[in-house]
Amino acid sequence: GQSLEQPSEVTAVEGAIVQINCTYQTSGFYGLSWYQQHDGGAPTFLSYNALDGLEETGRFSSFLSRSDSYGYLLLQELQMKDSASYFCAVGSTDSWGKLQFGAGTQVVVTP
């Protein structure tokens, strides 16, 4: 079976750094993705990690440790527009094409 855990909510002030952790138990794991979703909007792709290490894309970075079944999304220089839900999602060779989403982390950015 598959399971993912991520915190339900994180609150931080503008300009701060937030780390959203994601732990997973997935047979046939092949990659960890992150998606952002604003209220009323559609999920948008942020990053993908298939190998151990850090991937950086502007203010957002994502990390993966396959041996620890763990990853995180790092949001730097937080802006009000970063207030959204963030989902980690895993892909498995047990079911090609299917993404298993975590429950989501609501990030609230305050002035």
Partner 1 sequence: DTEVTQTPKHLVMGMTNKKSLKCEQHMGHRAMYWYKQKAKKPPELMFVYSYEKLSINESVPSRFSPECPNSSLLNLHLHALQPEDSALYLCASSQEYEQFFGPGTRLTVL
Give whichever of 39 and 111 is closer to partner 1, judged by the CB atom: 39
Stretch binding partner 1 (CB under 8 A), from 11-19, 21-29, 60-68, 96-104: 96-104
Candidate residues 5, 17, 45, 52; the one interacting with partner 1 per rule CB under 8 A: 45
Under rule CB under 8 A, residue 28 binds partner 1? no
Under rule CB under 8 A, residue 36 binds partner 1? no
Give whichever of 15 and 41 is closer to partner 1, judged by the CB atom: 41
Candidate residues 64, 73, 91, 109; the one interacting with partner 1 per rule CB under 8 A: 91
Give the C-alpha separation, 99 to 22, whole Å.
Answer: 14
Under rule CB under 8 A, residue 34 binds partner 1? no
Asked whether 49 and 56 are in contact (CB, 8 A), the reply is no
The end-to-end CA distance of the chain, in Å, is: 41
User: How far, rounded to the nearest angstrom, does the alpha carbon of residue 84 sit from its chain's CA centroid?
Assistant: 12
Side-chain-side CA neighbours of 97 within 13 Å: the count stands at 0
| Residues between 56 and 75 with contacts to partner 1, criterion CB under 8 A | none
Q: Is 80 helix (H, G, I), strand (E, B) or coil?
A: helix
